[in-house]
Each structure stands twice: as C-alpha cells, then as structure tokens.
Amino acid sequence: MMRRSLPGRVLGWLLPLLALALVLPVALSHWLDDDVLAVVLSAVVVLPLAMWAIRRGLRSTHSLFRALAGSVNSYRDGEYNFGIHWRGNDELAELVRSHADLGDVLREQRQSLVQRELLLDTMVQNTPVAMLLIAPGGDGVRRVVFANIAARKLLHSGWKLEGQDYDGLLAAAPVEMREALDRSGDSLFAIGSEEEDGEEQVYHLARRNFRLNGRPHELLLLRLLTNELRRQEVMTWKKVIRVISHELNNSLAPIASLAHSGAELVRRGRHDRLEEVFATIEDRARHLEGFIRGYARFAKLPQPQLQTVRWRAFFEGLQRHIAFELAMPEAEIDGRIDVAQIEQALLNLLKNAHESGTSADGVSVRVGRLPGWLKIEVMDRGSGMNDAVLQNALVPFYSTKRNGTGLGLALTREIIEAHGGRLSLHNRDGGGLCVAIQLPEN
C-alpha cells in the first residue's frame, strides 16, 4: 500500500473535522436558539479535535525528522552502519533516499581514506629513513608528535617516542648527532663506532618546517648513508682506475711513439731533431710524475708531525695566501697540529669557498671552543650544495667541476681525521655552505 504525501495525510484527518465544523454550529443553533453560543460551543469541540488530528497526521513525520537528525550526528561521529526506511513515494521518501545516498558516499570515502592511511602508515613505519615530527606542547616544551620505527631504534632503543621531551632525547644522543640537530638546515655528519676497529656511521639530516592546526611543526629525516657510501666508494674506485688508465695512456702512448721516432732518427743519422724528441718525452714524463705524486699523496698521507701553534698567528699567516674574514675570540688559543697538513686542508676549503660563487668578502672563518674541542668553521655565501652533492661531497674522486680531481674535500677529511678530529658540512640559512672542523684540544 502506497503511503500518501504529508499534505494528503493531514487533509485526510482535517476534512471530516471541517465538515463537522460547518454542520455542528447549525445543529446547535436550532437546539440552543443562540447563534453565538452555538459557534462558541462548536469551536470548543472542533479545535481540540483539529489539534489532535494535525498531531496524529504529523506523528510519523516527527519520528522521521528525529531519525534524520540522529543519523547526521552519527555521520559526524564516523558511524555509517544504520539505515532509515520510509514507505511511499512522496517528498519525504525522496529526502530519505537522498540521505541514504549521502551515507553511502561518506561510507565509501571513509573506507578509502582508512585504506590510504593504512598504506601510508605502513610505508612510513617501514622506511629505513628515521622520521621525527616535533611540535611545542602546551607547557612550551618541544615534544615528539610522531616517530617511525627507524627513529625509535635510532634514538630510544626501539621504545615509543610520542610525547617524549625532544630536548631530553637530544641530551642522550651522540655529540655529533646533537650538534647536527642543534643547527638549522640540512647537514651531513658521522658518528664514530664505540668499538676500536668499528666503522663510523654517516648520516644525512634533512629538516622541514610547517604549520599544522595553527601550531608550528618540524619534520626531521635522518638517513643512514654508510652502505650507500660504500657502494659509491666501489663505483669511485672504478672511476679512479679509468682516470688513471686514461692518464697513463695519454702519457705513455706519446712517449712510446716518440721513442720509436727517436730510434729511427738515430738509425738514419738525423741527430738534429733528437733534442726536440727528448724534450717532449721529458715533458710527458714529468706530467705523469706529477699526476702520480698527487694521487699518492692522498693514498699515503703521512702521520701528522705535531707541533704547538698559536691559532691567531696561524690564521693571520694563512690570510697572506688567501683572503677571508676571521672571527676569533680575543683570548689566545694554542693547539698542537701538523702545520703543513692543516694549512693544506684549510687552503682547500677556502679555495672551494671562493669558487662557490660567493662575493669576494663572503668567505669567512669562525673559530670557537667546545668542551675539549676547537671548532673551525669555513663559511661562504655561494650556492651551497643540493642533497646529492652533499651526500657525496666527501667521497674520494667525486667532483662536480669539469677539471676537478675530487680529492680536495676527501684529502681534507683525511687530514682532519688523522688529527683525531671530525669534519661535517651543512647548508647555511640565507644561502651558502659551512664546513665545520672539530680538532681535539691537547
């Protein structure tokens, strides 16, 4: 049976009452002989009946509206496992069908969103990159909002990090990691192994800032590069072999050809051209000797011969070779270093700084003290390094310059580590690169 529309149901109840309202005053007026009193008595009878009829006609409609209001609250709470049924084909039935269609769409979107969240969470939790999301709490303390499995293993022995005091975690982290996280911007740093013969672990730190729900957040990404660097080193050594082979062939092939030509000239008795032949052979041989010496210097760096130096005098002497601004505390600082090696290392860094695209006065050196360490920072205002270059900058023979050997930074790192120190790179706020050296105070 098809249910009538809302106006039809109400009229179905009211029409008999309207008929009664027309007939009743006439009947009462004949009986009471008073028209006014008949009308009043008719109204007293008919109006309550009319109110009852209207309420009876709208009772199911009120129930439907209450159900619709309840379903909207359920949608808001994320509940979709219910339905509303209405018999008939009137306007209310159309409203119920539209409401049901809306529930189906919201249910599908919710299921799709849950699946995407599960997929994203699975990817984030299983990535080897340690991910840490930091935000200030209501008490002003920076706290960990989110940390994946890799971050938990790296910073908290696998235990949950959410809600932890970020600065407290930093206090327990290795000093190299703490210094990198204290700085702003991306950086590359290495953590030495506690074992005597253990391999140091190299990490790349990337950080991004954004606002979420009106609060500032910082996302930290720590990527372990040791295995990747090991693969890069294998590829680099292959490149070294190709470079050396190419250089040897470029020198030995002309030498062999000239030696053969010289022998022919001697056999023919034409000694007038021998001087030119021997001069060319000597030139190629000396070029090859210089090439081999340069590579041998990196491959077999001698042990540092330490001597006491005054750092201010050392840097002032270095300024006579290459220009840079010096920022150093007023107090005199002494150290024990191999002067020639450290001078060579700093000259490499300062030369790179001048070639970075910075202005002539954009190169500076800042010297400071940390507990037990002397810190030297060589800074420029050039173009800095992108992530790929930053990750490979310390790999031997890796170079972005057309005629570069890729030995400058690698040799500098070898010199610093031979002194028991550490070297790290990071991009500066406002552009440019900072190469930080830490040398132990003796």
Question: What are the pLDDT digits (tens) for 109-155?
Answer: 888 888 888 888 888 888 889 999 999 987 888 999 999 999 999 88
- Beta strand 373-379 with 364-370 is antiparallel
> Do 187 and 207 touch, CB atoms closer than 8 A?
no
In which order are the strands placed within the sheet that holds 433-440?
A: 142-147, 130-136, 215-224, 201-212, 187-191, 422-427, 433-440, 373-379, 364-370, 325-327
Kindly report the length of the chain.
Answer: 442
Q: Which fold has domain 127-224?
A: Beta-Lactamase (3.30.450)
* Long-range Cβ pairs for the range 29-35 (8 Å, 24+): none
Task: Show Cβ contacts of residue 319 under 8 Å, excluding neighbours closer than 6 positions.
Answer: 326
The reply to whether the predicted model has a pTM over 0.85 is: no
C-alpha–C-alpha distance, residues 32 and 100, integer Å: 58
> Do 203 and 222 touch, CB atoms closer than 8 A?
yes
Work out the number of other CB atoms within 10 angstroms of the CB of residue 350.
Answer: 22
pLDDT of residue 9: 55
pLDDT of residue 303: 81
pLDDT of residue 186: 82
> Do 433 and 364 touch, CB atoms closer than 8 A?
no
pLDDT of residue 1: 32
Task: Indicate the domain borders of the chain.
Answer: 6-110, 127-224, 229-299, 307-440
Q: Which residues of the chain have pLDDT under 70?
A: 1-60, 62-64, 77-78, 80-83, 85-88, 90, 193-199, 236, 240, 243, 246-247, 287, 290-301, 392-407, 442
Q: So what CATH class is 307-440? A: alpha beta
pLDDT of residue 130: 92
Q: Which fold has domain 229-299?
A: Helix Hairpins (1.10.287)
Token pair recorded at residue 2: 């098809």
> Do 285 and 292 touch, CB atoms closer than 8 A?
no
pLDDT of residue 21: 55
CA nearest neighbour of 319 among 356, 297, 346, 290: 346
Token pair recorded at residue 174: 């290795």
pLDDT of residue 397: 57
> Do 395 and 229 touch, CB atoms closer than 8 A?
yes
CA nearest neighbour of 336 among 321, 314, 360, 357: 314
